[in-house]
Each structure stands twice: as C-alpha cells, then as structure tokens.
Structure 1
Amino acid sequence: MASPVRYRAGVPVYAYRVGPATPPVSVLRFDPGRQPGHGRRHIHDFPVLMYVERAGRGEAAGALGPLGPLGPVVDGDAFVVAPGAVIDPTAVAAFSIGQGVFFDPTALGSDEQAPWSPWRAHPLLLPFLHRIPGGLLRLHVPPARQPVWAATIAAIETELAERAEGYRQAVLAHLTLLLVDVARLATDVVADLRRSNEPLLAEVFEVIERRFAEPLSLRDVADAVGLSPGHLTTVVRQRTGRTVVDWITERRMAQARRLLSGTDLPVAEIARRVGLPDPGYFARVFRAAHGTTPRAWRRDTHG
C-alpha cells in the first residue's frame, strides 16, 4: 500500500504506491494490542482518515497519544490526518476498535486530470489541508451515522478482499460517501480554506498544469505566482505535505502513466512529452515513483 520514499528529520515519509494492481484505497484495522502501520513515528504524504468505532477505556482514552491532549476519545470520533503530519503509532492507544482508511487522492479524478485536481475541483479533500497543530482535525460522527460509517468501511474491506469486477470503482464510491460526511462535518474548516490559501494552491497547480511538458523549475513557478522559492516551498509543503518539485514530478508521472497505458508511443517520445527529454533520466524518475520501469508498467497494464 505504502512505502518509504524519503526521510524528513529522520522520520520516514511514506507515499501511496500507484500501480496497475494496487487498489486506490486501503483499510487497516487496529486495536491497543496491535500497533498499526510501521510501528514507529512516520509521515504519510497522502490523506489518511482514522475512525474510532469503539473508544478505549481508562487512562489511554484521555488523549490521542503524543499528538496532544484532545480530551476523552469517544465512539464515533474521526480524525482527518493532514498529509505531512508526523504520526506516532501509540496514537491509537485510545482506540478499542478502529480503522485507518488510506487512499490515493489522484484516484478521485482520473489521470487525464492533474493529480492535484481533487484539491482544486473536489472540495471533499479540502478538510485534509487543515492547519491544525499536530496534523489532526478531530470530528465527531453523529450516532445516527456511526452504523453507516462502520458498514461503509466494512464494504470497502469486502471489495478489497474479493477483487471482483469493478471493485476499484466500488471502493472509490464507498470512500466518496465517507468524504462527503467529512466535508459536511468540517464545514468551518473548509470555509476557512476557501477564504485563505486555496487560491494560491490553485494558481500554483495551474502553472504546473500549463507548463509541466516543458522545462519547469521551482523558481519558474515561484516567479509566476509572485513569491520567493523558499516561501512558496514552505506554504505548499505545509498545505499539501509535498514540495512544488514533488508536484511537478507527480504531474509528469500522471501524464506518463496515461500515455503508457493508452498509447503506443515510444518511451522516448513519452519522456519528451512530459518535460523530461532524456529517456534515461525519465526512466529513473519513473522507477523511483512507481518501483518499475516504464516498459514494465506498460506491459503490466496491458496484461
């Protein structure tokens, strides 16, 4: 589902691996007796939604681990984890039964769209760009909706286990239902984002969208939006968990995947069309992003 791609201050940063056989959504169930994920402090550069189906009892229920005192954790609490936030596995000590829903945000659109289009065109992902210290936005699912959440997450797990025809579309449909609830519960946060930094993000992404197929640097984007490269890097990383350069690469790789899967263009021509005219360098970037070569991706996609 995820693998470390880099380190930040010694903390591993995990990316959601994208591949022909990789589901766009993953679910991890956890309880106090089993530490989730990687068993150590880590960072996800993709959105994570944690849901407390049953809260733990006793001392551990008064806080969410080292991420800060949040008051008693209760049944139906949901935590929206901002990309780039440092997560400690002991944070689930307050959960008796809970689930983590991990997903690739690009899957909510299509590879014909920019991978950040969910932030710009899909307001359902705006809550994940919150600026709350510690990286956690706490929401509470109303009692009447809690059985729906439990059933929806269970339905995602069933689809992932059975992998029947159309399962990818099914898990995304179930995920969308959860994200609709999150957006409705986070109305104030979304309104604040619309008033504040979303226009800057949209402008950055529009510059990348227009120019990713040509030589494009951080300074080029910063000049286009009227900010210094350092300030722009800080703002974009705080809001998305990634740097401007990461997003340029992500856009290029999204277009490369589309061209590899949907055309018979030579790899060298695809490299040129995504702004990386050196085929060898393009292959190295693609392998770093996907763990395989462009030719192998094309072969696997075509079966």
Structure 2
Amino acid sequence: MADRTMQDDDGIRTYAFPVDRSVCGVGMQVGPMEPGRTWHEDAPLDRVHRIDFHVLMLFTGGPVTHMVDFAEYEMTDGDLLWIRPGQVHRFSRASEYRGTVLTMQPGFLPRATVEATGLYRYDLPPLLHPDPAQLAALRAALAQLRREYEDTTTLPLGLHTEVLRHSLTAFLVRLAHLATSSAEAARGQIDTTFTRFRDAVEKDFATNHSVSAYADALGYSRRTLVRAVRAATGQTPKGFIDKRVILEAKRLLAHTDLPIGRVGAAVGFPDAANFSKFFHQHTDTTPAAFRAELR
C-alpha cells in the first residue's frame, strides 16, 4: 500500500512516499506548502518521525523553525531545507510553512544522476542560503519542474516521466552545486585550530569532556582554544563538547533500547544520576522523558 507506515525498533514511525497522491503516480511531487499538509492521514507532523524519501522546501516566508536530527533550523524567505531519507525530523506547530515543497522517491532517478547530484550526502547541512542569483535560478528550475509535473495531457505517461526526470535533474544539479560550494566556503572560513579541536572532540567526546585536556593534547593554550572555537561557532569549547555529547545521547535514546544508565556510560557518564542531571541541564527534560516523547 502506498501510504504504508513502519515503526522502527526505537518507536519512531517511518512514512513511505505517498505514490497514490502523485499526479499519474510518478515518483515525485511538487506543489505549494500548505497548512495541514501530511504524508499520511495518521501522521501528526508535529511529532518526531522519519520519511523514506527526499523533501526539499523552498520558503517564501518566515521565520519558520524545523527540527532535523534533533537540531533546530530557522528558515526565512529564500532559504531552502533539504531533508534526506531516514533523517528524524519534526514540523513546528507554531510556524506557517509557505513556499514550494518537492518530494522525491528513492529510485526515481538513475544511479548516475544520484551520484552526480549527491543525493545521499548526509555530511552536508540541511539548511541552504542561496544568494540572489542562485535563488532566481533555483526558483526558475523549480517552476519549470512544477509545470512539467502538472502537464498530463501533452505527452504519453512514459515520456512525461522522462521529462520529469530531466527537469528534476536540472534542478538538483543546481542544488548540489549550492550545497557543496556552501560547505566548502564554510570549511575555508574555519580556523585550523578549531578544525583540529573539532576533529579531536569527534574522536574522543565519549571519554574526554575536559577543555584543558584537549588544549594540552593539541598543543594550544586554553585561551587560544577559547578564541578559535568562539570565532568559528560562537560557543565556548566546553559548550561545543557538551553539545556533541548531548547529540550522541539523544541519538542513542532515540535509536536504541539501551537502558538510560548504559546510554550515559556510552557518552562518558558512568554514574546514571550524573548523566541525568547533565542531560536535564542542557535540554530541560530528563532522558526518560525525552525517549518517551519519541515513542
């Protein structure tokens, strides 16, 4: 059934691409974002869920907040949000989503196009800020794609589908270029000191929460490290470490059935009470309540 849902071991529902809602049953949809839009009649979008297809939202208003993989993103006019298959996300109940939304079923495009457009580059950020020229080109490509999608009378279904694939590819090539160039520009602006610190935290955050220990290991003074991390992220080194620990804890709480004590141990808190206190300080909720909200 096209609107089937699945519930993963972590209790989060995954919603399949709703083929029966597509024009002519093709593997994509494009149209306006509207209040009350849903993937499935039983899918409350303001609850955490997954989808097994791509969603791209180009906004014409805002601000709008949206959670992707437990990070909150704020969009406004001209911003684009790209959610990939399997990512956990949640719509904001308080925001009005205005603009155009494109959804695409995995397998709709050939493998060569998938690779060329980086459809599964989960390392790239979901939120993109095109400049005026890029935005104009993306809007034009998306408008053309929408016209082709809605035109069901001038071509047989097979040719209609092929035209859609070509128009979609043109849009995604532009989008992929924006995503990769934005990521490269961001990397180029980050100080090498921060890059080394970030890589060290990614490697050792589960066992090392000490700013001084990282500074000593990297050969920097604590003051140098503070200056570099603040310039790159606006955070203190301790805040950066804690944020990474919290993200991992959230992932384990959401995606596994590990007891809370073992989740704490996995992120460097052998004592379950200390872990619960740390988690509450940074999230205003307990690990048990956070997990229950997702179930």
TM-score w.r.t. length of structure 1: 0.47
Relative contact order higher in (CA < 8 Å, ≥ 6 apart): 1
